[in-house]
Structure 1
Amino acid sequence: MASLTIKNAVKRYGNVEVLKGVSIDLRDGEFLVLLGASGCGKSTLLNMIAGLEDLTEGEIMIGDRVVNDVHPKDRDIAMVFQSYALYPTMTVGQNIAFGLEMRGVPKAERALRVEQVAKTLRMDHLLDRKPAQLSGGQRQRVAMGRALVRDPEVFLFDEPLSNLDAKLRLEMRTEIKRLHKRLNATMVYVTHDQIEALTLADRIAILKDGEVQQLASPAEIYEHPANMFVAGLVGSPPMNFLDITVEAGEAGPAAWVTLRADGADKPVLLDLSAHTARLDGYVGRKVVMGLRPEMISQGTTDAGQCVQCEIDVTEATGADTLCVLNWNNQEVLARGTSGYTKILEGTMDFTIETERACLFDPESGLRLD
């Protein structure tokens, strides 16, 4: 395996700049996920790593070798596509071995490597079947096997699970995680699914309009998003955003919010003293407070400030229940502790963990540090 370095990568199509100076250093054996909405440039970047697209400016290195002008077949990478791209007239074994055959690998060695990969992917009993006889998950395993058998320096995945149903996506996600753990391989994985990104990645690069918004571990991105775009993209349900005006309280910064309780509007002063350093210079100014639903939890605890709120709507999700509250005349999602919607109704106590809140500048959208 090898490291991967992307230095100031720029891609233009005429006057349209699709990638705007992307720089990423990927350690040997690291799993990087490129996350973003359609059109953000993540697949273009992956294709540039693979050599399927040329760089307009910048440099890509695999290990200590600059590969800008190296043909895709000579980059020692393997790519798994969204479409399985299997040969329908070949068996599973023949599909996996095809790339080795084209490279002139002896037949005995091909057979041994195919057998090893098939056992790794738990599909050695399928080697004599044709693709039409396989399920979607099995076909994706074959596509992965065709990449694995090459033992490349870098694996590239282009939304490989997007064609599978929810159950198969979960199974294959676990399979890819297990595979990375076993191989300790360098992998770059493109997706628009935040759950895939959070569960698979060592680090996530979030792209928007051809620029990296944040490059960090899943935990860092979830707990400390760099800006409002990242905060709104990652997390399901998404983060709540509240426009507040910072005031000077007795213990430190504070802000008034209006909660609906017992059919009436009740202003409540939220304690923001945990963010004193961040809010230096913002007293008397507006900021955006970001609260994830689990930071507003049903019941009274010692973890935060207790308030009474009126529940507008409840949404049962099985393990827990989401509660829609009315704050400052806007909907705010809170996470209820019970899975039974009939228990969560009327006015109830909620604990707000303001010390875990994210605070953003309303103009730039950047998180206040």
Structure 2
Amino acid sequence: MASLSIRNAVKRFGAVEVIKNVSLDLNDGEFLVLLGASGCGKSTLLNMIAGLENITEGEIRIGDRVVNDVHPKDRDIAMVFQSYALYPNMTVEKNIAFGLEMRGIPKEERNKLVSEVATMLQIDHLLDRKPAQLSGGQRQRVAMGRALVRRPEIFLFDEPLSNLDAKLRLEMRTEIKRLHKELNATIVYVTHDQIEAMTLADRIAILKDGIVQQYATPAEIYNKPTNVFIASLVGSPPMNFLNARLETVDDDVVAHVPLTKDPDGQKLDLSLKGYDSDLSAYIGKEVIIGIRPENISYTEEPVKDGHEVVQGEVDVVEPTGADTLCHIKWGINSVLARINNRIDVAIGDKFNCAIDMKRTNVFDKKTETRI
């Protein structure tokens, strides 16, 4: 396996710049996920790594080699596509072995490698079948087998699970995670599914309009999103956002959240004591407070140690099985709380919200970047 380094990469199609000065480093054996909505540039960046798209400016390095001008077949990469791209007239065995045959690998060695990979992917009983006789999950395993059998320096996955149903996606996600651990493979994986990104990645690069918004571990992206865009993209259900004004009260920084449309009306005061960044430059200014639904819980007693207690009214109840999602009105604001399913709530109930303020995020109102 090999490391990957991307330096100031730019891609233009005519006058349109779709990849804008992207720089990323991936260590040998790491799993990188490129995450973003359709059209953000993630597949284009993957194709640039593969050599299927030329790089306009910058540098792409695989291991010790700069590969800007290296043909795709000479980059020692293997790609797994969304469409599987299997040969319909070939058996599973021949589909997996085809690349090895083209490279002149002797038949005996080919058979050994195909057998090892087929056993690893649990498709050894399907080797005589053709793709039309396989399920979607089985086809995806064959596509992965064709990539794995080559033992490339880097594996590239382009939304490989998007054509599968929810149950199969979960199974294949687990399979990919297991294979990464077993092979210690260097993987670059494109998806628009934030659950896939969070569960698979060592590091995630979130793209928007061809720009990397944040490049970090899943935990860092979840707990300290760089901006409002990332905070709303990562997390299910998404983060709650409240407009507020910061003031100091008895040496404490407090977020005044309006509960009415009247500027002089009632306000909710949330203490930000213990926030992990200095807020002194924002005293007297408008900010956005971000609170994740799982950081709002129900309480019958006042809670201390970083928790604020706010009373609201239940507006909508959504049972999801393990949890219950409660939409709660705080004056003109509506927040979503994820609570234990054993708590009995109904529309119109008063609801004491215990907010874990230590996990709150504060964003600049104008730039929407995390303070």
Give the alignment's TM-score, normalised by structure 1.
0.95
Paired residues for 1:65-144 under 5 Å: 65-144=65-144
Which structure 2 residues correspond to residues 1-369 of structure 1 after superposition, within 5 A? Answer: 1-258=1-258, 267-275=267-275, 277-299=277-299, 300=301, 301-302=303-304, 304-338=307-341, 342=345, 346-368=349-371
The answer as to whether partners of 2:245 and 2:257 remain within 8 angstroms in 1 is no
Separation in 2, partners of 1:228, 1:55 = 30
Q: Secondary structure at the match of 2:101?
A: helix
Q: How far apart are residue 169 of structure 1 and its match?
A: 0.3
**Contact 1:51/1:70 (CA < 8 Å) preserved in 2?**
yes
Mapped contact 1:298–1:335 kept (Cα < 8 A): no
RMSD of aligned C-alpha atoms?
Answer: 1.6
Per-residue CA shift, 1:126-168, capped at 9, x if unaligned? 1111111111001000000000000000000000000000000
Distance apart, 1:328 and its partner CA: 4.8
Shift of 1:218: 0.2
Amino acid in structure 2 at the alignment position of 1:269: D
- 1:161 match: secondary structure: coil
Distance 1:320 1:339 in 2: 8
Amino acid paired to 1:143: A
SS in 2 for 1:20: strand
5+ residue gaps, structure 1: none
Tell me, in whole angstroms, the C-alpha distance in 1 between the residues paired with 2:284 and 2:10: 41
Q: How far does the alpha carbon of each residue in 1:96-136 deviate from its partner, in whole angstroms, 9 at most, with x for none?
A: 00111111111101000000000111111111111111110
Kindly indicate whether the alpha-carbon contact (under 8 Å) linking 1:317 and 1:339 is maintained by their aligned counterparts in 2: no
Deviation, structure 1 residue 342 = 4.8
How many Å separate the matches in 2 of 1:333 and 1:155? 39
**Residue 226 of structure 1 aligns to which amino acid in structure 2?**
T
C-alpha separation in 2, matches of 1:11 and 1:162: 25
How big is the shift at 1:258?
5.0
Unaligned runs of 5+ in 2: none
Q: Distance in 1 between matches of 2:165 and 2:113?
A: 30
2:331 and 2:105 map into 1 onto residues whose CA distance is 68
Q: Which moved more, 1:162-171 or 1:303-312?
A: 303-312
User: TM-score scaled by structure 2?
Assistant: 0.95
AA paired with 1:289? I
Cα distance in structure 2, aligned partners of 1:113 and 1:68: 30
Q: How many residues matched?
A: 364
Asked if structure 2 preserves the Cα contact closer than 8 Å seen for 1:247 and 1:283, the reply is yes
- 8 Å contact from structure 2 (residues 317, 346) kept in 1: no
Cα distance in 1 for residues equivalent to 2:342 and 2:211: 40
* Contact map agreement 2:311 2:330 (CA 8 A) in 1: no
Q: Secondary structure at the match of 2:170?
A: helix
What letter corresponds to residue 321 of structure 1 in structure 2? T
8 Å CA contact retained: 1:258, 1:327 = no
Cα separation, partners in 2 of 1:339 and 1:79, compared to 1, 3 Å: farther
Within 2, Cα distance between the matches of 1:249 and 1:173?
Answer: 49
Give, as a single letter, the amino acid of the residue that structure 2 aligns with 1:360.
F
Q: State how far apart, in whole Å, the 1-side matches of 2:304 and 2:182 are.
A: 42
Moved more, 319-328 or 173-182: 319-328
**Greater shift in the superposed pair: 201-210 or 249-258:** 249-258
Q: Distance in 1 between matches of 2:227 and 2:86?
A: 41
